[in-house]
């Protein structure tokens, strides 16, 4: 019997992903039993360093030894490239564009032509709270963000789409504390509320650009227990919304004790056999 391997959502980025355990948890909940969420976040990395490690992060599809294939890749670099001129991490826009283009090309070569890729642009900075050295400003991040959107548009590839994190500014204006709700005291990194917003924005982008990857459109990798024992519990279809759904308890009437292990074992072998 061939083993069942979970395909993957790969998050490849800098500290915004490295510190994004809440975002990973939200995605894991949304794609539970369907896709594995793999976080590859590297604090301090610019696109220069990221470009160099692509071969160590992404296995070639024809040489994969462990894990499933990439169902979706989310790339989030540029925050450190946008550091102000004179700092060690500053990268000119022209270098950022070249690094990103090369990265996206190699990721696609390794993961397979047409692999869905979402490119997140840098989030805005909270200039009033940014660190005393003023290494980041919203204006500098906007320049890199605009370059990223323009680059992705110029590729004219249906499988590579930008996600503009600068939209956080517009959403923040509707909130009492503005960006203070989303950005921590260093003026740069993301608060839990900000990661909730990013999760919703990602799910919106998936729904728009890659609707076949909506969680409820994907099959489970392993059979639900109630299906194995022959008692298919009637559940309502999850509402097509951005937030994970909590299914109501009403209608859950499992009667597992009525099934002996012999019946269970035969049904399990049938469902898990090749071709199912």
**pLDDT the model gives residue 232:** 56
**pLDDT the model gives residue 214:** 96
Domain at 8-217, CATH from 3.90.580.10, 3.30.1360.20, 3.20.20.140, 3.40.50.1110:
3.40.50.1110
Most confident of 171-180, 187-196, 245-254: 187-196
| CB 106 within 8 Å of CB 55 | yes
Q: Which segment of 132-136, 173-177, 192-196, 219-223 scores lowest on mean pLDDT?
A: 132-136
To the nearest 10 degrees (0 to 180), the angle between helices 93-111 and 47-57 is 10
| CB 163 within 8 Å of CB 120 | yes
**pLDDT the model gives residue 62:** 76
Statement: residue 244 has pLDDT above 70:
no
- Taking residues 53-63, report their average pLDDT: 89
User: What residues does each domain of the chain span?
Assistant: 8-217, 225-272
**pLDDT the model gives residue 171:** 85
- Taking residues 60-69, report their average pLDDT: 75
| pLDDT single digits (tens) 196-242 | 999 999 999 999 999 999 999 999 988 877 777 666 555 555 444 44
Q: By percentage, how much of the chain surpasses pLDDT 70?
A: 77
Residue written as token pair 């076949």: 212
Helix (H) / strand (E) element for 11: namely: strand 8-13
The CA distance from 252 to 240, in Å, is 22
Q: Terminal CA-to-CA distance of the chain, rounded, Å? A: 11
Q: Are strands 36-41 and 117-120 parallel, antiparallel or unpaired?
A: unpaired
pLDDT band at 273 (very low <50, low <70, confident <90, very high): low
The CA distance from 81 to 107, in Å, is 20
- Taking residues 80-94, report their average pLDDT: 92
- The three-point CA angle 9-120-130 to 5° equals 125
**pLDDT the model gives residue 136:** 79
pLDDT band at 254 (very low <50, low <70, confident <90, very high): very low
């Amino acid at each position: 019997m061939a083993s069942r391997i979970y395909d993957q959502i790969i998050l490849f980025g800098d500290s915004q992903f490295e510190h994004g355990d809440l975002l990973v948890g939200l995605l894991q909940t949304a794609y539970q039993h369907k896709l594995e969420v793999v976080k590859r976040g590297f604090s301090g990395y610019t696109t220069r360093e990221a470009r160099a490690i692509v071969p160590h992060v992404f296995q070639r599809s024809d040489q994969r030894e462990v894990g499933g294939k990439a169902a979706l890749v989310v790339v989030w670099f540029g925050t450190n490239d946008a550091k102000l001129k004179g700092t060690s991490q500053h990268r000119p826009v022209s270098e950022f564009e070249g690094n990103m283009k090369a990265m996206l090309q190699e990721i696609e070569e390794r993961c397979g032509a047409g692999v869905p890729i979402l490119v997140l642009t840098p989030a805005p900075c909270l200039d009033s709270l940014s660190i005393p050295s003023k290494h980041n400003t919203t204006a500098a991040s906007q320049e890199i963000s605009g370059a990223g959107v323009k680059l992705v548009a110029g590729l004219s590839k249906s499988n590579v789409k930008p996600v503009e994190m600068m939209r956080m500014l517009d959403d923040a204006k509707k909130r009492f504390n503005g960006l203070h709700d989303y950005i921590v005291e260093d003026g740069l990194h993301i608060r839990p509320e900000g990661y909730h917003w990013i999760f919703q924005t990602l799910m919106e982008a998936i729904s728009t650009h890659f609707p076949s990857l909506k969680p409820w459109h994907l099959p489970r990798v392993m059979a639900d227990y109630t299906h194995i024992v022959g008692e298919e519990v009637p559940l309502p279809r999850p509402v097509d919304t951005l937030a994970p759904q909590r299914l109501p308890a009403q209608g859950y009437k499992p009667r597992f004790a009525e099934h002996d292990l012999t019946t269970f074992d035969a049904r399990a072998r049938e469902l898990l056999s090749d071709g199912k």
